[in-house]
Amino acid sequence: MPIAADDPRLRPTHVAADTRYDDVPFLRAGASGVRLPRISLGLWQNFGRDRSFESQREIILHAVDRGVVHIDLANNYGPPYGAAESTFGAVIESDLRRYRDELFVASKAGYDMWPGPYGDGGSRKYLVSSLDQTLARTHLDYVDVFYHHRPDPETPLEETVGALASIVRSGKALYVGVSNYPAPLARRAHELLAAEGVRLLVHQPRYSLFDRTPEAELFPALRDLQVGSAVFSPLAQGLLTGKYLDGTVPPGSRAAGSFFLNESAITDDYLRRIRGIDGVAREVGLSIPQLAIAWVLRDPVVTTAIIGASRPSQIDDAVAASRADLPADAVAALEEFAAPSGGSV
């Protein structure tokens, strides 16, 4: 059930830490004036109604206290759809309203959200309606960046881009981005937006040691266009952790019950790779997740890495990783265990 406006949990109690900008570095997104923390908090998983509001609130507030002020949402994050945005909106009301101007809030639309022909895709009807719903759920007047979540081959790109440009002009989003767009489509979107007088701020692709697809065409295009990137799944949905080193799947782990990861991923090849990565991590004094995050941040074409978190300590680990300077020999050693450049495993 949604949290009522008079619920005592929504009484303002949080005062942000004075040290919140002491640790996490920031990097400019492409040629824009926007600097993003190298670590961002994604609410893709762990922020549905299957988790307690108190635990979700704790993670969000801890992120802000560590300078992780870029919060990444989408209309259909949950479960159910919309739940993550509603949770974040409740935390805005309870604790973060006074800090709104310190936050950089992103949301997206492009996947299925509601029944019928207008609840999916890239039409102007869907994108504008979805953002209106997002603003209502989050209790915000605007989002900082609004993404088209995926390409829609059934909608002309000119319509999708025109909708994004009109959203910026309306003041409901300050910037726009695209996610999961291949390089040629990203270039065309950039061109169309520029013709509308709007900058493509950022692209959001999947990127990790186990999925290096963006290195082939997308990252060169983003460098050329001077567009930032906010990469998601830097831990490959949990595969780049130490949970499965012994070849078993612990109860309660993501591979034990996630739609996106299951036991079939724990192959002999995976175990060879993750044990090799573990060896490199030990040599440089990092955990496997920290090494994986530091690796994706090694190239400034990656503005920020979006992490999920089920507990506050994972944010601390990621912030520490954002400050790690990987030696060239460690980067070279990882090539044996990572996906080939431009490919995935």
Q: How far, in Å, CA of 111 to CA of 107, rounded?
A: 12
CATH fold of the domain at 19-241+287-328 = TIM Barrel (3.20.20)
**Which residue shows structure tokens 């944010």?**
315
Q: Which whole number is the average pLDDT over 232-248?
A: 93
Least confident of 1-5, 121-125, 176-180, 313-317: 1-5
Q: What is the DSSP annotation of 100-168? A: GGG-EEEEEE-S--SSSTTSSSS-HHHHHHHHHHHHHHHT-S-EEEEEE-S--TTS-HHHHHHHHHHHH
Amino acid of residue 303: T
Per-residue pLDDT tens over the stretch 280-315:
999 999 999 999 999 999 999 999 999 999 999 999
Q: Where are the domains of the chain?
A: 19-241+287-328
pTM above threshold 0.85:
yes
Span 43-80, pLDDT tens digits:
999 999 999 999 999 999 999 999 999 999 999 999 99
Tokens of 19: 């040290």
- What average pLDDT is seen over the chain? 94
For 189-225, write each residue's pLDDT tens digit: 999 999 999 999 999 999 999 999 999 999 999 999 9
Tell me the per-residue pLDDT of 129-160, one tens digit each, with 9 for 90 and over.
999 999 999 999 999 999 999 999 999 999 99
* pLDDT score of 166: 98
Q: Residue 341: which region, alpha, beta or left (left: phi > 0; alpha: psi -120 to 50)? A: beta
